[in-house]
Structure 1
Amino acid sequence: MRTMQTTKTFLKTSIWLIAFSMLFVITSCDKIEQGAFLEDTEGKCGQDLPSFPIRKILIEDYTGHYCGNCPKAAETAESLKEIYCDHIVTIATHVGFFAATQSNADSSYAYDFTTAMGDELDTQFGISAQGLPRGMVNRTEVDNKLVLAYAAWGTGVDALVGLAPDIDIDIENSYNAATRTVTTEVESEFLNNLAGTFNVVVVITEDSIVNWQNIYPFNPVPGYPTGDVENYVHRHVLRSSFNSTWGEEIAKGDVVANTTTTKTYTMVLPDEWVEDRCSVVAYVYETSSNEVVQAEDSKVK
């Protein structure tokens, strides 16, 4: 993972490169050129970001509440979010042996964080079989590995964050409190010509679920004791998918720039989910490679 100082140097160097290249390049209104958004966005989020699209990177954190090393992976994802800010979208997916529920007298580890979608992804990519924690960064390889130890997540992000986006995703949510129904409209616009088959996956996550988590004494995280921790805050937890594990096709073949598709989905939130902490996450991936081309998230309300 790069240090904060390395990130600053990288971004400042990028600014000079952009200034130099602008002497020779006229940017098309219909195409986002490489490097167009590479200004110093460190520490800037939301309204402070440029108005034009940026590439967002999906970190899939595969975890389990009885995995004592997993909190350190979650801390890594949050550290990357602090560095790269709105460039990072995170989903924490509980899978495998360490995510199994337990029948303990104190009710520890009784909560079921698992999902059908998570189980399918775990089977497809063989994640928990490699030992948790593991993750993927846009489902791209680092050193010829797709499923990554958390120490490699920063390297994966660093390789992608300087690339201009090929797709822009816009999410518009509405929430009916009386029926607990969220309606989400997801628009995907191709900014450049692309070839392949592209699916959009739309899921819902819930942040800050307070429940049990094991933390190994030899791999502690700030703010928590080690051992069985009753009040651990679980971040960005995958809850369910609006449109299945593999999503819905939005484009196929030679896709020209400015191609736009809009999909609308609804879901009734179970009573135990806290709507104020729920977000809709959408990502577009190319089906033959499974590579995530763009991601986006937006709070339910």
Structure 2
Amino acid sequence: MKIKTLLYTTAAGLLTLASCDTVSENDRYIYVEEAEVQRCVLLEDFTGQQCPNCPNAAVETNKLQESYPNSVIAVAIHGGPLSPNTPVSLKSHVGDLYYSAAGQPKLPAGQIDRLGGTSVPEQWMGNVHTAIQRKAAVALSIENDYDADGNKAAIKIKAYGMNAASGKLQVWLVEDSIKAIQAMPDGSSNREYIHNHVLRAAVNGTWGEDISIAKGSEKTVTYTADLNPKTYMPNTRQTWNVANMHVVAFVYNDNGVQGVTKAALISNAENSH
């Protein structure tokens, strides 16, 4: 599938609040040629409820997903000083750790397929254009079996080696359609703001688990995910809506993300963002 997109920003669209980084003149009005879509890419969106520019990053994410349908998997990671440490915040048990590992960037900031460092939202389209043309080394699929009585999910992940690959397999729980307060670009606070693809938990450890797969071979890994937020954060007052949750799985190493996929936690709850 080939997709042609136009990357642009305008001076009027750049805010100068302290929480937001800016983009240089050289990164504006960049025409992006046709891209051969070879893979899904992972967008880690570092964000915070007290970040007034972060809703603009959500708009950029929507543009990316419209430009590359079914090829951009976004995860919003709440961490850092603009993500409050309160029992009802959207911060996960690993959010601050991931934010620190990314270099504690000014918010909003994103990391595309863990290639290079973080970038501002105005640069995401160009970075996705580059990443999406890399051939995936690992093809992943997810099968989820939700146990309502136990409030758990059995997660089966199959990995197929398109090429020989080794690194870490990471499994996350994310949730869409969360209504929670958000600082807005106009200085207001929106208590009805809808947050999507919010990282809720790391199922198999903060940094995942080792995986190695030969070209042409397949591996199957299974996990049981507890869907009680207190399992991960004992003092939290978060409530999770499993009907709006997804599992994101990816393999990464020093050369970035080698393959990524996403599946609804409940198979008949297809609420994707």
TM-score band, normalised by the shorter chain?
0.7 to 0.9
Provide the rounded CA distance (Å) in 2 between the counterparts of 1:290 and 1:81: 24
Per the alignment, residue 149 of structure 1 pairs with 120
Provide the rounded CA distance (Å) in 1 between the counterparts of 2:227 and 2:57: 28
Q: 1:269 and 2:227 equivalent?
A: yes
Provide the rounded CA distance (Å) in 1 between the counterparts of 2:245 and 2:215: 32
Q: How much does 1:290 deviate?
A: 5.9
Q: 1:70 and 2:21 equivalent?
A: no
Q: How much does 1:97 deviate?
A: 1.1
In the alignment, structure 1 segments of 5+ residues that lack a partner are 15-37, 39-53, 103-109, 218-225
| Alpha-carbon displacement from aligned partner over 1:148-177 (angstroms, at most 9, x marks no partner) | 111111111000222332210010001011
TM-score by length of structure 1 reads 0.72
Larger radius of gyration: 1
Equivalent in 118, 131, 148 of residue 95 of structure 2: 118
| Matched position secondary structure for 1:68 | coil
Per the alignment, residue 217 of structure 2 pairs with 259
Q: 1:282 and 2:240 equivalent?
A: no
Higher percent of residues as helix: 1
Equivalent in 151, 154, 161 of residue 190 of structure 1: 161
Provide the rounded CA distance (Å) in 2 between the counterparts of 1:240 and 1:266: 13
Per the alignment, residue 42 of structure 2 pairs with 58
Q: 1:208 and 2:177 equivalent?
A: yes
Count the aligned residue pairs: 232
Provide the rounded CA distance (Å) in 2 between the counterparts of 1:166 and 1:98: 36
Q: 1:293 and 2:272 equivalent?
A: no
| Alpha-carbon displacement from aligned partner over 1:70-98 (angstroms, at most 9, x marks no partner) | 01011111110111011111100001111
Provide the rounded CA distance (Å) in 2 between the counterparts of 1:113 and 1:152: 25
| Alpha-carbon displacement from aligned partner over 1:249-279 (angstroms, at most 9, x marks no partner) | 111xxx5311322111112212721011000
Per the alignment, residue 91 of structure 1 pairs with 75
Provide the rounded CA distance (Å) in 1 between the counterparts of 2:182 and 2:190: 5
Higher percent of residues as strand: 2
Q: How much does 1:126 deviate?
A: 1.5
| Contact 1:117–1:244 under 8 Å retained in 2 | no
Provide the rounded CA distance (Å) in 2 between the counterparts of 1:126 and 1:10: 32
| Matched position secondary structure for 1:280 | strand
Q: How much does 1:113 deviate?
A: 1.1
TM-score by length of structure 2 reads 0.79
| Contact 1:133–1:150 under 8 Å retained in 2 | yes
Per the alignment, residue 236 of structure 1 pairs with 197
Identity among equivalent pairs (%): 28
Provide the rounded CA distance (Å) in 2 between the counterparts of 1:61 and 1:176: 30
| Alpha-carbon displacement from aligned partner over 1:227-249 (angstroms, at most 9, x marks no partner) | 11010000100000110121011
Provide the rounded CA distance (Å) in 2 between the counterparts of 1:228 and 1:101: 17
Give RMSD over aligned pairs: 2.2
Provide the rounded CA distance (Å) in 1 between the counterparts of 2:214 and 2:155: 25
| Contact 2:247–2:263 under 8 Å retained in 1 | yes
| Contact 2:85–2:91 under 8 Å retained in 1 | no
Per the alignment, residue 221 of structure 1 pairs with none
| Contact 1:57–1:138 under 8 Å retained in 2 | yes
| Contact 1:188–1:262 under 8 Å retained in 2 | yes
Provide the rounded CA distance (Å) in 2 between the counterparts of 1:152 and 1:237: 21
Per the alignment, residue 6 of structure 2 pairs with 3
| Contact 2:55–2:185 under 8 Å retained in 1 | no
Amino acid across the alignment from 1:163:
R
| Alpha-carbon displacement from aligned partner over 1:99-154 (angstroms, at most 9, x marks no partner) | 1146xxxxxxx731112221211122223xx311111000113xxxx111111111
Q: Which runs of 4+ in 1 moved over 4 A?
A: none
| Matched position secondary structure for 1:97 | coil
